[in-house]
């Protein structure tokens, strides 16, 4: 493909490169540069791609794309935003794959994964569609798993993934769209048929600094969506939808607005409610417990409606949906009188939601095991400590993913808030040991909630990922106690 073709829609400020040069490969990683490559000099958080321009040219790059005018005589394309340019170049290089499919984007702090998986199930059940999924847990092309590193991949990888989904026969793609992806143009050039908003609570303030900036990043999804679905119960609803250009469908549990739920039944093995839209009512049931499941179901139903699926058909499909791995997931504990649940809750709101929901059907004591991630917003740590102790009969404060931070320093931050809520907590830094303690003290009808890891099967300590699957930990402890 010629360079001029790759630059379609890219705002070029200056160019010294041969626009008719044939480009064989596009990359922002100098290690992947080969003869005939176009090198994208991206300014990152850790390093500046402009530092590697000499290496890229030496390895055979035809030209470089940069937002910093080179001081030497080299073939370059100067752009205002190298990240937006990368998104557009990626789109062009892979043949505009997204345009061949219907794209649905879901953003918010919590509920994205569950909402996208529920919508995928609806589309497959009602329309018989082959659906691509891009999200936190995994990327899917139909039922084929594609490994993932980020909630939303970097724009080049995203466009390549779109291409694989198009070539694999996908008619629809459902994406979790993170605030980082919107801020850093990972979804630059991507337009959505439907954009959905679940909720907004404190998270990623290490990156966005303020809740207002975090909200405004999320709001960028609606500016590029033809139709919209948004939870109007959320206090950030007005701000996050202010830039919405498409047709809006609101969802609610608290108000009789738009698509709303009434007659809620929160059970230990699922939820039931009546969904209402205008004069139409349908019964909805899902084998996933928790009030937040009602909100996630409404988001999925709302997206289905915006895609032309009837409320009746969408609700019928949800009845056969399965629970999501790591979201209020029941771990087998044969022969034990207590229950162990795994949930991904790693934000104050997420922890409060899952503990409040479990409290609604717990007949014994509620024992929580949780921590906070390192190298992330430290402000939420005492908040989570306060919530965990307040809503649990016994809280076991432990490590999550300390990453490069000292695990005990993180725990001390959590304990600051825990002390304000009471004294019924213990600190056990080692996470498997914390799980063992919770299981050792559990009695009949107690429920243990292992919060924070969810679907993850690793723990990152000192920058190194160690295998840690909490399902295996529970099974191992049960085996050892039997022996």
Q: Which tens digits make up the pLDDT trace of 159-197?
A: 999 999 999 999 999 999 988 888 888 888 899 999 999
Give the least confident one: 9-18, 199-208, 317-326, 366-375.
199-208
> Do residues 171 and 189 share a domain?
yes
Does the residue 156 lie in any domain? Answer: yes
Q: State which residues form the domain around 254.
A: 97-318
Distance CA 310, CA 282 (A): 11
From 93, 109, 129, the end of a domain falls on 93
> Which residue in 373, 436, 434 sits closest to 400, CA to CA?
373
Whether the CB-CB separation of 22 and 1 falls below 8 Å is answered with yes
* Mean pLDDT (the chain, rounded): 93
Distance CA 65, CA 21 (A): 14
Distance CA 172, CA 150 (A): 20
Does the residue 299 lie in any domain? Answer: yes
Largest separation between any pair of C-alpha atoms in the chain: 75
Question: Which three-class secondary structure state does DSSP give residue 210?
Answer: coil
> Do residues 349 and 460 share a domain?
yes
DSSP state of 125: I
Distance CA 413, CA 66 (A): 41
> Do residues 346 and 273 share a domain?
no
Does the residue 235 lie in any domain? Answer: yes
> Do residues 83 and 228 share a domain?
no
From 268, 299, 318, the end of a domain falls on 318
Q: How many folded domains does the chain comprise?
A: 3
> Do residues 268 and 342 share a domain?
no
> Do residues 34 and 114 share a domain?
no
Distance CA 459, CA 464 (A): 8
Q: Supply the pLDDT for residue 300.
A: 98
Does the residue 333 lie in any domain? Answer: yes
In this predicted model, what pLDDT tens digit does every residue of 84-98 receive, in sequence order? 999 999 999 999 999
Question: Which of the four pLDDT bands, split at 50, 70 and 90, describes residue 152?
Answer: low
* CATH for 103: 3.40.1190.10
Q: Could you tell me the two tokens for 18?
A: 């041969």
Does the residue 56 lie in any domain? Answer: yes
Give the least confident one: 264-268, 292-296, 462-466.
264-268
Does the residue 324 lie in any domain? Answer: no
Give the least confident one: 146-155, 351-360, 389-398, 434-443.
146-155
> Do residues 46 and 120 share a domain?
no
Question: Which of the four pLDDT bands, split at 50, 70 and 90, describes residue 208?
Answer: low
Q: Supply the pLDDT for residue 290.
A: 82
* CATH for 84: 3.40.1390.10
> Do residues 344 and 394 share a domain?
yes
CB atoms within 10 A of CB 193: 18
Q: What is the mean pLDDT of residues 244-266?
A: 94
Does the residue 323 lie in any domain? Answer: no
Q: pLDDT over 70 for what percent of the chain? A: 97
> Do residues 140 and 254 share a domain?
yes
* CATH for 470: 3.90.190.20
> Do residues 137 and 250 share a domain?
yes
Give the least confident one: 93-97, 145-149, 477-481.
145-149
Q: Supply the pLDDT for residue 148.
A: 65
Does the residue 356 lie in any domain? Answer: yes
Question: Which of the four pLDDT bands, split at 50, 70 and 90, describes residue 125?
Answer: very high
> Do residues 33 and 126 share a domain?
no
Task: Please determine, for residue 107, whether its predicted confidence score (pLDDT) is greater than 60.
Answer: yes
Q: Supply the pLDDT for residue 189.
A: 84
Task: Please determine, for residue 149, whether its predicted confidence score (pLDDT) is greater than 90.
Answer: no
The secondary structure of the chain in percent helix, strand, coil, rounded to multiples of 5, reads 35, 25, 40
Q: Supply the pLDDT for residue 109.
A: 85
Question: Which of the four pLDDT bands, split at 50, 70 and 90, describes residue 206?
Answer: low
From 293, 318, 343, the end of a domain falls on 318
pTM of the model: 0.81
Of 41-50, 143-152, 417-426, highest mean pLDDT = 417-426
> Do residues 65 and 196 share a domain?
no
Phi and psi angles of residue 160, each rounded to the nearest 5 degrees, phi first: -65, -40
In this predicted model, what pLDDT tens digit does every residue of 435-476 receive, in sequence order? 999 999 999 999 999 999 999 999 999 999 999 999 999 999
Q: What is the mean pLDDT of residues 294-314?
A: 98
């Amino acid at each position: 493909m010629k360079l001029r073709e790759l630059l379609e829609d890219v705002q070029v400020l200056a160019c010294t490169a041969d626009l008719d040069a044939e480009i064989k490969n596009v990359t922002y990683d100098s290690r992947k540069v080969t003869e005939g490559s176009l090198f994208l000099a991206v300014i990152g958080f850790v390093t500046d791609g402009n530092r590697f321009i000499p290496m890229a040219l030496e390895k055979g790059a035809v030209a470089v794309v940069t937002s910093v005018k080179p001081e030497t005589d080299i073939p370059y394309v100067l752009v205002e935003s190298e990240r937006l340019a990368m998104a557009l170049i990626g789109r062009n290089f892979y043949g505009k794959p997204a345009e061949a499919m219907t794209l649905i984007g879901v953003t918010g702090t919590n509920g994205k994964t569950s909402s996208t998986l529920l919508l995928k199930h609806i589309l497959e059940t009602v329309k018989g569609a082959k659906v691509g999924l891009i999200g936190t847990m995994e990327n899917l092309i139909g039922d084929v798993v594609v490994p993932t590193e980020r909630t939303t991949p970097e724009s080049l990888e995203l466009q390549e993934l779109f291409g694989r989904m198009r070539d694999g026969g996908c008619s629809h793609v459902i994406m979790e769209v993170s605030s980082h992806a919107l801020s850093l143009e990972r979804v630059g050039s991507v337009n959505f048929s439907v954009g959905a908003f679940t909720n907004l609570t404190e998270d990623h303030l290490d990156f966005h600094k303020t809740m207002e900036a975090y909200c405004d990043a999320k709001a960028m999804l609606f500016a590029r969506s033809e139709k919209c679905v948004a939870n109007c119960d959320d206090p950030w609803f007005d701000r996050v939808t202010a830039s919405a250009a498409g047709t809006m469908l609101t969802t609610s549990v608290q108000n009789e607005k738009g698509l709303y739920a009434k007659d809620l039944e929160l059970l230990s093995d699922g939820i039931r409610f009546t969904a209402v839209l205008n004069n139409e009512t349908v019964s909805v049931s899902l084998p996933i417990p928790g009030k937040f499941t009602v909100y996630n179901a409404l988001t999925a139903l709302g997206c289905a409606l915006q895609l032309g699926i009837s409320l009746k058909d969408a609700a019928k499909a949800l009845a056969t949906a399965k629970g999501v791995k790591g979201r209020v997931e029941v771990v087998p504990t044969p022969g034990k009188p207590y229950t162990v649940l795994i949930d991904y809750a790693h934000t104050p709101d997420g922890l409060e939601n899952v503990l409040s929901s479990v409290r609604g059907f717990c007949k014994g004591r509620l024992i929580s095991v949780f921590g906070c991630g390192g190298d992330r917003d430290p402000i939420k740590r005492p908040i989570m400590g306060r919530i965990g102790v307040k809503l649990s009969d016994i809280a076991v404060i432990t490590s999550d993913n300390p990453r490069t931070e000292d695990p005990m320093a993180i725990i001390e931050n959590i304990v600051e808030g825990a002390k304000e809520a009471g004294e019924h907590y213990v600190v056990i830094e080692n996470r498997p040991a914390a799980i063992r303690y919770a299981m050792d003290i559990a009695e009949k009808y107690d429920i243990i909630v292992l919060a924070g890891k969810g679907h993850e099967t690793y723990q990152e300590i000192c920058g190194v990922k160690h295998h840690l699957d909490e399902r295996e930990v529970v099974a191992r402890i049960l085996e050892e106690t039997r022996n």
